[in-house]
Amino acid sequence: MAQQLEQLLTCCICLDRFRNPKLLPCQHSVCMEPCMEGLVDYVRRQVKCPECRAEHRIPYNGVQGFPSNVTLQRFLEAHIEITGETPDPHTGQYMERCNVCNEKNYLSVCSHCEKKICEDCKAAHLDILKREIGRINNQVKRASHRLNDQLSTVERNITSLKQNTTSVSDEIENISKRLQKSVRDRCSFLKAEFRNLTMLKESLDQEVSNIGANIELAEKHMDDQTPWDDAELMDAKDIFLKTMEFIRSFDYEAGDYSRRARFNPPDDLNKLTTSLSTLGDLTFSTPNKMSDGYSSGPSMGSGLMKSKSDHRLAAQFRDQEDGYGYTSGRTSPLMRRRFGERNTERHDEDSSADSGRRRFRSRFMRKEEDEERSVRFAEEDGPKRQRVFDTEDVSRGPLSGIVRLYDSPRVMKRFQERDQNKTKKKEEPPKPAQPTLPKPPATPIQRKTSRQTSNEDEIDKIKKQNKNTDSTSGATATTPTANTSTPSTPTTPKPAGERVSSIRDDERQSRSDRTSTSPRSSANHSPASSITREDDSSRRNEYSRSRAESNASGANGTTSRPTPARKTSVDTGVTSVAQRAYPFSRSSSNSSVGDKDKNTSGTRSPRTLDTAGYERRLSRSNSTDSNKSGDGSSSPKKATGAAFSTEELKNRFVRTDSKPSTSKVESSSRSSGPSNSRFQSRFLGRAGTPSVETSKESGNEDEDDETTEDSESEESEESSEEEEEEEEEKEPTSEYSRADIGPLLGKSAQARDVAGSTSSRSTWGDRSSYPSASTSGTDSGYASRYGSNSDNSNGSSNNSSRYGAPTSNSSSTDAGATSHRRPSYLDSAKPQAKEKEDEFESKYPYSSKYLNRSRAAVPEEDSKPTFQSRFLNRSKSSAVLGPDDNDESTPTTTHGTGRARFEELKERRQRLARSKSSAGLEDDEGTAADTNSAANYRPRYGRVEPEASATTRNTAAGTSSVGAAGSSSNAGGDNSGSSSTQLSNWARYLKNKYGNRSGAAAGGGDSSSRSTGTGLSGSTSTSAGSGLGSNTSSASGIMGSGSRPGTSSTVGGRAISRSRSSHLLGLAKEGESSEDDSKNVHATPTFPPAGTQVPTPFGSLHRSQYLQKQRLLIKIGSRGSEPGNFTWPRGIAVGPDNSIVVADSSNHRVQVFDQQGKFIKEFGSYGSAEGEFDCLAGVAVNRIGQYIIADRYNHRIQVFDPSGMFLRSFGSQGGGDGRFSYPWGVTTDALGFIYVCDKENHRVQVFQSDGSFVGKFGSMGNKPGQLEHPHYIAVSSTNRVIVSDSNNHRIQIFDINGKVTTTFGSEGSDEGQFKFPRGVAVDDQGYIFVADSGNNRIQIFHPDGSFLRAFGCWGSGEGEFKGLEGVAVMSNGNILVCDRENHRVQVF
């Protein structure tokens, strides 16, 4: 009954429930949609009833005009009610044609294909997606351990770094103490002089009085009144004579003493500082033990770690910044970073430098490339698509920005649903791809970072906050700060204005607090300090007060991003400070500088403030481990926006500090002269807001430097204190003051002491000042300029200052790095610097150059180079980050060009924000950028291997000289190029490091020039190559570039290298702007070959090359039996001389062509005698050029000598050992063993080169290790035997013992699937080429069997195939394909 009812309610056409049933005049009902429409005969305007075939005229208004069968509808409704069926979900919708299956149906948009499709198709797509996710997830799972490895390594490195740092810093302190003492010894000498002089004076006094007395006596008594006897007179005469003589002869060399004692520093302080800086060798090159985890070895030292952390911080910072927007008010604080941005970051990360780092990255890339492609990038390309998982409140990986799916509300909801319904419906695999980087808790910094990000992300999620705080508390000493930070967090979620205001409030508050504090502190100190000090303090008070006021007013006044207010206030503050400073410094030039700076600061947006604060923190963290924790705590806060207040505080604080520091400097500088003052003023002015901070920092730094004993600890202490203060806004004032001001006082006091001996003092002052100066300069300038990127620079600068100042920097590593770095600069600036000077020298020129350019005082410069080098190192290592790169470039430019440039740069930088090394571009030569980028890598290596430095430098020079072209060529460049052209240390090093691969690359050296050309062509056009190639310097250029790709390839991150190269290309092409793009591209693992589509036919960068493969190079032959033509060519092989050997199967002959496809010779004819063939299939050429032919229908293998003369044959038809049944593919390995695909016996047989049977493997079947009609075979250089298991539609890889190592592929036409795969080939790097015969395409696989690329389709055009047979790959990467049905050989 029920069934009948059902039937009554079912449309006879669609067999579904009636949907809007229309009643025909014959009383039959039909669905309106889509059934009725199908019944319409438009020609006759009638409808034929499907049931009774009655024909009805269509009403005037169409089929709509038929009455609806209301009764039926009621029934339907009733039925639904009774049975409780879910109502038709599509009511109210209308049907459309599905965009996939073209059926008319209710459609919805599919996120997978972005089309409106029907449910069925959608389900299919969902399946596909699920499968994809599963696959990717598997990959992720497989690869995830790497991250863990990295993590543990990082942890280990952290500990070791920590230890190292402490020990080194101890050492440094020692040294600095000793140095100090040695310098002070001069003081004591001067004192001795003074003592001498006084003694002289005393004795002279005595003499004078004696003589006077004598004179008096002589005058008075040397007359006749007094009886003198002769002896007495004689004596007296003698005495007077002697006196006379003495007076005459006594010639006090007044010059000795009247001359001002002066301390002449050797040459200038440059030298001293540089020598100092090189003195200690704060070598990060010792880091072998540190880099233990990374097999890349020494290249990644602690610097790397730092850089990494830097980078992370930077990333954080950037995130945060994104949150705030670059310019004030432009973006809402809620703005999230976009994928692209994140990518870039990653990119940068990548490009960053340390090979270790790179390695990580690249590996990551390679392994999870797919995932990225499908997941991330899929997302990326559809920005409009609503991203369901990627919501605000999810936590995401700090590095990759990968969302933690479990946190996504959607996911949670799904789970909930599932649990509730218990229905099988699983919208998504429980945890599809959860590549969320485990937040690396390893490095404190890292931890910090992660927390920061998470904070940022989860601001409004209290739950998450809790979690975070927990984690943080778990972390380290960070706990209190972290907790404190949390409260600050809630402010963030508020709308921008509100938040801003709140921040403002915070600021104000903090400021007020601070102000109160600062006076107090100053007061405390004033007794200790001299009068000037008191002055200072009072001034400080004033400042702070005014500062606070101005700020407050600004806050009140503007709701929008505080830029104006803040700026102004800052400006004023700065100005005032600067002005104050001037009188003290007494240098007129300063004022101008200061003004300029002021202007700069004026233009700067509040962002700078952030940055500065951030930097500061960062730098501090860098400086000391202990600091880190404090920093960490602070940074999150900062991220949340409370940071602002912090910064503000700091600024204020700084400001107050800056005064003291200034004064101090002044006091010291009085004698030291303009240099100091200038530094100061400059620093003040330039930095603007940041400068203030910087100044403060400088103060700190100074303290550190001078009070060597506790400097670092103090600093850290101080920093933490500060932070605490900031957070708790009060209590530590005294401490703070102690920390800050006390040392300052001490220092000043010291300075005063020193003042007695001017020279020494000045030295000191200089020294102390410049580290700070450099720091400040860089920090502020850079920060202001970039706002966002500053972190690294800060860190580095800080470090440099730290190291550089007290111990005079010193470490060979540093120096080395510096030098490396420097050369690049030098090169760009003045190529003549190329000579391999030692690092010092190189440094010097640089500095001198710098001097020329900038008006800053000498010491400052010195310090700067130091800093820079340091910084460079760091940044280099951390080049991963875009910001870092920026940093690098920035300093360069800054220094190189001087102020104006600098400003310009700054603006640029702000605009570009993320663009890498583009600053360099801006510079005089467009090359700079290239150089930079090239240099990025180089220094890394250089650091690792000092010997390589020379080469590197050369390379750099080469690069620069070559210019953009060179760089581009570099991009395209190969290891091979570099190694072959100059088998230098570098190359050797590379080779050592990377073993075969680079070695192989070297092998391909001959093609270097060509490769260069290709690189160029990639950027511009194919033809351009020659010019480049001819360029002599290109070689070196290649080298430079070579280093890069080499590394990357080593890492296994071919993708990286590829992208890098592409990136470079982009660079060359479009300049800096393109760089961004390229970077993005970079991040995209599947860099569309579009940009670099030119088939890089040569060179060893196989992966990139292969990825670009698509275009036909040569096409050999057509159907025919004359030489050069084929009839069903099957096997193909490449001879040792790159000749192409083709088994022209149905012509029963072997043809040999040269590399260009020119016919050389043929041999063989039809028959079964010696040297005759019957439908030969496989060919192989062994190392000595002998041809090995699988004579298929004769069931034998024939061997010919290189001239084509028959040597021997073996085998006959059968199933036994050494017998064949239709042998097909044949190959040979390096040892000359012959592998034969015994097709109909479903096995592979191995023979010695003389034909004696060695072994066999495989049997009929489809299990691993079994074969079904194996067709072709190839042996890699690593003795992996690759067999195309044709009828199983897979490729199997055996070891030489016949054990299966890998099996991949299945039947299908997707990537990595086959239909009757035939030819296989493997290149010297293990990449596997498969002629996917049934799909008429070539597929390329990674050595591990993962899919790399496919190309080709059915057809007879270029790059199209009909029935593929053998493939072979030439040593230059060209792929040879036997296109059977087209009777030709194609070369790609």
Partner 1 sequence: MIAIVMETQRLMAEPVPGISAVPDETNARYFHVVVAELFLPEEYPMSAPKVRFMTKIYHPNIDKLGRICLDILKDKWSPALQIRTVLLSIQALLSAPNPDDPLANDVAELWKVNESEAIRIAREWTRTYAMGN
Q: Is 38 in the site for partner 1 (CB under 8 A)?
A: yes
Cα(1359)–Cα(1373) distance, rounded to whole angstroms?
16
Q: Closer CB to partner 1, residue 105 or residue 635?
A: 105
Q: Which is nearer to partner 1, 48 or 1115 (CB)?
A: 48
The answer to whether the beta carbons of residues 488 and 640 sit under 8 Å apart is yes
Which residues make Cβ contacts (< 8 Å) with residue 1219, sequence separation at least 6?
Answer: 1195, 1211, 1212, 1213, 1241
> CB-based burial of residue 1217 (10 Å sphere; 0-12 exposed, 13-18 middle, 19+ buried)?
exposed
Q: Which residue's CB is nearer to partner 1, number 19 or number 1010?
A: 19
* Site for partner 1 contains 5 (CB under 8 A): no
Among residues 1266, 1374, 1270, 1370, the alpha carbon closest in space to that of 1316 is found at: 1270
**Nearer to partner 1 among residue 36 and residue 815 (C-beta):** 36
- Residue with smaller CB distance to partner 1, 76 or 618: 76
The yes or no reply on residue 90 touching partner 1 (CB under 8 A) is no
Interatomic CA distance for residues 288 and 290, integer angstroms: 5
The secondary element (H helix, E strand) that includes residue 650 is helix 642-672
Asked if 20 touches partner 1 (CB under 8 A), the answer is no
Q: Which of 6, 16, 924, 1137 binds partner 1 (CB under 8 A)?
A: 16
If the CB atoms of residues 118 and 829 are measured against partner 1, the closer one turns out to be 118
**In 3D, which of 663, 659, 644 has the Cα closest to residue 518?**
659
CA distance 187 to 1247: 87
Q: What gap in Å lies between CA 944 and CA 1319, rounded to an integer? A: 44
CB 687 within 8 A of CB 779: yes
DSSP secondary structure of 1102-1167: HHHHHHH--S--EEE--BSSSTT-BSSEEEEEE-TTS-EEEEEGGGTEEEEE-TTS-EEEEE-EES
Least spacing, CB of residue 103 vs partner 1, in Å? 5
User: DSSP string of 856-900?
Assistant: S-HHHHHHHHHHHHHHHHHHHHGGGSHHHHHHHHHHHHHHHH-HH
CB of 1312 to partner 1, least distance (A): 21
Q: What is the CA 162 to chain-centroid distance, rounded?
A: 24
Residue from the set 8, 78, 82, 101 that interacts with partner 1 by CB under 8 A = 101
Judged by CB, which is closer to partner 1: 38, or 1202? 38
Q: Which stretch, 97-105, 441-449, 575-583, 1339-1347, contacts partner 1 (CB under 8 A)?
A: 97-105
Residues 1141-1160 binding partner 1 (CB under 8 A) are: none
Whole-number Å distance between alpha carbons of 2 and 609: 77
Closest distance of CB 24 from partner 1, Å: 12
Structure token pair of residue 1110? 């698509």
Among residues 13 and 477, whose Cβ is nearest to partner 1? 13
Estimate the crossing angle of helix 674-706 against helix 858-877, to 10 degrees.
50
Residue 35 binds to partner 1 (criterion: CB under 8 A): yes
Q: If binding is defined by CB under 8 A, does position 12 make contact with partner 1?
A: yes
> Do the Cβ atoms of 823 and 953 come closer than 8 Å?
yes
Stretch that binds partner 1, among 101-109, 247-255, 657-665, 809-817 (CB under 8 A): 101-109
Residue 450's beta-bridge partner residues?
A: none
**CB-CB contact of 1116 with 1099 (8 Å):** no
Return phi, psi of residue 1145, to 5°: -60, -55
> Using CB under 8 A, which of the segments 100-108, 542-550, 896-904, 1040-1048 binds partner 1?
100-108
Per-residue DSSP letter, 46: E
Residue 13 engages partner 1 in binding (rule: CB under 8 A)? yes
- Binds partner 1 (CB under 8 A): choice among 55, 88, 103, 904: 103
Place of tokens 């002269």: 673
Q: Tell me which of 14, 211, 1112, 1160 binds partner 1, using CB under 8 A.
A: 14
If the CB atoms of residues 51 and 535 are measured against partner 1, the closer one turns out to be 51
Residues in the chain: 1388
CB of 80 to partner 1, least distance (A): 18
Looking at beta carbons only, is 30 or 179 nearer to partner 1?
A: 30
Q: Which of 1, 2, 15, 1090 binds partner 1 (CB under 8 A)?
A: 15
39 lines the binding site for partner 1 (CB under 8 A): yes
Stretch that binds partner 1, among 6-14, 507-515, 762-770, 1311-1319 (CB under 8 A): 6-14
Contacts with partner 1 by CB under 8 A: the residue count is 18
Which range of residues in 12-20, 270-278, 520-528, 705-713 is near partner 1 by CB under 8 A?
12-20
Sign of CA dihedral 615, 620, 623, 624: negative
Q: Measured from the CB atom, is 53 or 248 closer to partner 1?
A: 53
105 interacts with partner 1 by CB under 8 A:
yes
CB of 617 within 8 A of CB of 631? Answer: yes
Minimum CB distance to partner 1, residue 391 (Å): 36
Binding mask of the shown chain, residues 1064 to 1083, with x at each position contacting partner 1 by CB under 8 A: --------------------
User: Measuring CA to CA, which residue among 449, 406, 130, 137 is closest to residue 317?
Assistant: 449
The nearest distance, CB 132 to partner 1, in angstroms, is 22
Give me the least distance between CB of 38 and partner 1, in Å please: 4
Determine, following the binding rule CB under 8 A, whether residue 123 of this chain makes contact with partner 1. no
Distance of closest approach, residue 45 Cβ to partner 1, in angstroms: 17
Interface residue with partner 1, options 6, 114, 120, 1122 (CB under 8 A) = 120
Nearest distance from C-beta of residue 41 to partner 1, angstroms? 11
Give least dist CB 15 to partner 1, A: 4
Q: Which is nearer to partner 1, 118 or 187 (CB)?
A: 118
Order of all β-strands in the sheet with 1328-1332? 1317-1322, 1328-1332, 1337-1341, 1347-1351
- 1307 sits near partner 1 (criterion: CB under 8 A): no
Please report how close the Cβ of residue 46 comes to partner 1 at its closest, in angstroms.
14
Cβ 91 to partner 1, closest distance in Å?
Answer: 17
Scanning 10-18, 1150-1158, 1251-1259, 1283-1291 for contacts with partner 1 by CB under 8 A, the matching segment is 10-18
Residues 726, 617: contact at Cβ < 8 Å?
no
> d(Cα 737, Cα 1103) in Å, to the nearest integer?
59
Q: Which residues contact 1165 (CB under 8 A, 6 or more apart)?
A: 1148, 1149, 1171, 1172, 1173
For the CB of residue 115, give the shortest distance to partner 1 in the complex, in Å. 17
Choices 14-22, 944-952, 1045-1053, 1157-1165; region in contact with partner 1 by CB under 8 A: 14-22
Residue 674 near partner 1 by CB under 8 A: no
HSE at residue 702, side-chain half, CA atoms within 13 A, is 38
Judged by CB under 8 A, the chain residues 43 through 72 that form the site for partner 1 are 48-51, 53
109 near partner 1 (CB under 8 A): no
**Residue 1252 burial (CB count, 10 A):** 10
The torsion of the CA quartet 337, 342, 343, 344, rounded to 10 degrees, works out to 100
Least distance to partner 1, CB of residue 65, Å: 20
261 within 8 A of 759, measured Cβ to Cβ? yes
> Distance between terminal CA atoms of the chain?
70
Which of 52/200 has CB closer to partner 1? 52
Q: With beta carbons less than 8 A apart as the criterion, state whether 1025 and 1094 touch.
A: no
- Looking at the Cβ atoms of 118 and 913, the one nearer to partner 1 is 118
Positions touching partner 1 (CB under 8 A) are 12-16, 35, 38-39, 48-51, 53, 101, 103, 105, 118, 120
